[in-house]
Chains A and B, each alone.
Chain A
Amino acid sequence: MKFKGKSFIAIVLAPEQPFDGWFKELDRIIERSPGFFIDRPIILDVRGSNIPIEDLEHVLDGLGERSIRVMGIDGISGTRLKQGMPPSFGGGRLTAEVDVPEPATQTGKADEAADDDNPQVKEKDVPSSSAASASDTNGHSFAKSLDELERESAKQGDSSIVISDHVRSGQSILHPDGDVTVIGSVSSGAEIIAGGSIHIYGALRGRALAGVAGKDSARIFCTKLDAELVSINGLYKVADDFDGTLRNSPAQIRFENETLVFEGLN
């Protein structure tokens, strides 16, 4: 029996005192975009708040009333949770913030909501990949909500970025909006995360994760394949499982019938 690994972007809700105010803010979001929380993995983040279990119960009930189903709770020991509560959920790595979608007529208000950050809505990558953070490097980080991404790609096509330098070990390029092109090599220990395809004019020795926002049609291209890990739409393969014949040669990787297909480029 084999297990597949798949990563999802979860929305992280961090309840803030007073809870009544926080719920009101949540209601405002639901009112504006009723589908925002539907079919999304949702993590409740109580890290650092030392929340009493009664308050947690209150928050979970409140979310339940709003049909927000929490898949896990981050930042609380599993032994403190009561029966019937979602499981404790460790690990994970923060990604960019999710903007709350807004009807076109209320753009002004949208900025306001994003600015006061209340309630905090952040994307979190589950499960965590590497400990590299984009903040201590010259990595580029842009993020938009998935809804917005879909809207945008439908309207005007994806945005793309070009990195005209080597991506060094420990650096992370995160661009959930579209394609990433690297003119240079991606070193062992570096990673490229793209909503669209990844193009590398150089050696790929690190990790490349394409189509992270659920795009099967994303591909990975490189002029020298020596990757540690490649992934398209959450489906990944590590170097050990690669077909050895393409090692160190130009290659493309695409997603087909729930598998990753490796092909030489000539």
Chain B
Amino acid sequence: MSNATVVVVTSGKGGVGKTTTTAAIASALAKEGYQVCAIDFDVGLRNLDLIMGAERRVVFDLVNVVRGEASIKQALVRDKKLNNLYLLPASQTRDKDALTEEGVEAVITELRGYFDYVICDSPAGIERGATLAMRHADEAIIVSNPEVSSVRDCDRIIGLLDAKTKIAEDGGRMPKHLMITRYDTDRAKTGDMLATDDVVDILSVPLIGVVPESKDVLKASNVGLPVTLSDENSPPAKAYMEATRRLLGENIPVTIPEEKKSLFGKLFKGRAA
């Protein structure tokens, strides 16, 4: 029996890459040999099953489990490639009011017994779904794009993490990690994007990784594979793998995608010529 670390992946704003990050980190942790479960809290707008390529095997979902209509073991979907990676899908037909606080607590408590890591994919917004997803977390990954509205929403979420979670109510402080996604090297150069330093400065949360904007992410989600599994050598996969090692406590410096990308740029240039 293990006692899992529960990590919530959250951002406030939609479309920044929470689900991609959840899938990538969960599968990267599984590749490291940990027993991992990813939970989709986005009831009504579930996506994590698609990104992880599990949509054709979903029978029961989180709402069924919370309401006692199915057991957790019935609802968990095992990954096709990694047999130590599981998904607890959201319901697509219900809404977030179907989740109760006690029900979610019971689910998380049970999952803690089976896994090493439980990764909760939070829905966008600051309402019920999002607060329930973060409620029982031990750590948080804050996903932000390098632009102002996303950063402000993250700031709001950080405030909630420090006020409305179980840890905060017990007088503790939730460890937080900042993941900057959709980082565009070209736009960073021309200055029409917030620099990584500015985002870190505004949010005052330690940086865990910078993931470049990349076609590989789109490609991976279209084939239903987390980006860390579809092409291990792609820049976003490398960034997520590094971030995962930092999450596990390794002390490696964060690489800003610039140099890497320029190397790739050279390769592409060579090919085009």
Contact = CB atoms under 8 A, between A and B. Distances in A.
Interface of A: 136-138, 165-166, 168-171, 184-185, 187-190, 203, 205
Q: Secondary structure of the B side of the interface?
A: helix
Contact of B204 (A138, A169, A185): A185
Interface residues of B, number: 16
Nearest to A224: B201
A218 B155 CA distance: 28
Interface in B190-225: 201-202, 204
Given A136-B164, A165-B162, A171-B159, 15 more contacts: A137-B160, A137-B163, A138-B159, A138-B162, A166-B204, A168-B156, A168-B162, A169-B155, A169-B156, A170-B159, A185-B204, A188-B155, A189-B152, A189-B155, A205-B202
Contacts, number: 46
Nearest to A165: B162
B158 interface: yes
B163 A187 contact: no
Contacts of B168: 138
Nearest to A171: B159
Given A168-B158, A185-B204, A205-B202, A136 B152 contact: no
Interface in B121-163: 126, 148, 152-153, 155-156, 158-160, 162-163
A185 B163 CA distance: 17
Contacts of B148: 188
Q: Secondary structure of the A side of the interface?
A: loop
A185 B202 CA distance: 8
Contacts of B152: 169, 187-189
A188 to B, nearest CB: 5
B94 to A, nearest CB: 25
Contacts of B162: 138, 165, 168
A189 B156 contact: yes
A170 B202 contact: no
A189 B153 CA distance: 9
Interface string B108-130: 00000000000000000010000
A137 B159 contact: yes
Nearest to B148: A188
26 contacts: A136-B160, A136-B163, A136-B164, A137-B159, A138-B162, A138-B163, A138-B168, A165-B162, A168-B159, A169-B152, A169-B153, A169-B155, A169-B156, A170-B126, A170-B156, A184-B204, A185-B202, A185-B204, A187-B152, A188-B152, A188-B202, A189-B152, A189-B155, A190-B155, A203-B201, A205-B202
B164 to A, nearest CB: 8
Interface string B148-186: 100011011011101110001000000000000000000
B223 to A, nearest CB: 37
Contacts of A188: 148, 152, 155, 202
A162 to B, nearest CB: 17
A169 B202 CA distance: 11
A205 B151 CA distance: 13
A151 to B, nearest CB: 34
A190 B168 CA distance: 19
A190 B155 CA distance: 10
B206 to A, nearest CB: 14
Nearest to A167: B159
Interface in B1-32: none
Q: Residue among A138, A187, A188, A203 with the most chain B CB within 10 A?
A: A187
A188 B160 CA distance: 15
Contacts of A137: 159-160, 163
Contacts of A170: 126, 155-156, 159-160
Nearest to A168: B159
Which A-B residue pairs are the 6 nearest by beta carbons?
A168-B159, A169-B155, A169-B156, A170-B156, A138-B163, A187-B155
B6 to A, nearest CB: 22
Nearest to A188: B152
A14 B164 CA distance: 32
Contact of A187 (B126, B160, B164, B202): B202
Contact of A168 (B155, B164, B201): B155
Q: Residue among B126, B152, B155, B158 with the most chain A CB within 10 A?
A: B155
Contact of A169 (B159, B163, B164, B201): B159
A189 B148 CA distance: 12
A140 to B, nearest CB: 12
Nearest to B204: A166
B18 to A, nearest CB: 18
Q: Residue among B126, B156, B164 with the most chain A CB within 10 A?
A: B156
Contacts of B160: 136-137, 170
